[in-house]
Amino acid sequence: MIGSKVRVKVSSVRGVRDPEGREGYRIDFVEVRERPPMVMMTPTEVPKEIGHMVVQISKGIQKAIPGGSIKEYELQKLTLTFTAEELEAFELKPYPNQIYELTISKGKLSFKKI
């Protein structure tokens, strides 16, 4: 069976307490995906020169709109909660905005720092 690889980013690390009062950490990961390119077409009955100008104007407007030039987007992916001892044993030292390659294979998760 082939494993699946996903690029994830640490979105937050928070201190928490479990029901027994032990200190721990809650780590939230988001998947970072490439935004697909925007495809623009003009009707075939419009002259080619006008169609080209409309496409160029549309691209310019997209860059001017807040968030229009962003090449990536994020999706909530995974939340892990560890005690301090478990986090140390897991050998993961996450901090916000750190990016990992998450490999999912045969019931195992492995993180590789990018």
CA angle (63 as vertex; 30, 52 as ends), nearest 5: 125
Q: Do 27 and 42 sit in the same domain of this protein?
A: no
- CA neighbor of 87 nearest in space, from 10, 32, 8: 10
The dihedrals phi and psi of 102, each to the nearest 5 degrees, come to -95, 120
Asked if pLDDT for residue 72 goes beyond 70, the answer is yes
Distance CA 61, CA 3 (A): 41
Q: Are residues 75 and 111 in the same domain?
A: yes
State the CATH number of the domain containing residue 84: 2.40.50
Shared domain check, 80 and 31: yes
* 100 has a pLDDT exceeding 90: yes
Domain region containing 28:
1-35+71-114
Task: Kindly report the pTM of this predicted structure.
Answer: 0.68
Interior/surface letters 13-51, b for 16+ CB within 10 angstroms, e for the rest: eeeeeeeeeeebbebbbbebeeeeeeeeeeeeeeeeeeb
Residues 31 and 79 in one domain: yes
Rounded mean pLDDT of 19-38?
A: 87
In a shared domain, residues 21 and 52: no
Tally of CB atoms within 10 A around 83: 16
The structural domain count of the chain equals 2
Residue 29 has what pLDDT?
Answer: 96
Residue 84 has pLDDT above 90, yes or no: no
Tell me, yes or no, whether 76 and 114 share the same domain. yes
DSSP 8-class letter at 106: T
77 lies in the same domain as 111: yes
Same domain, 31 and 42: no
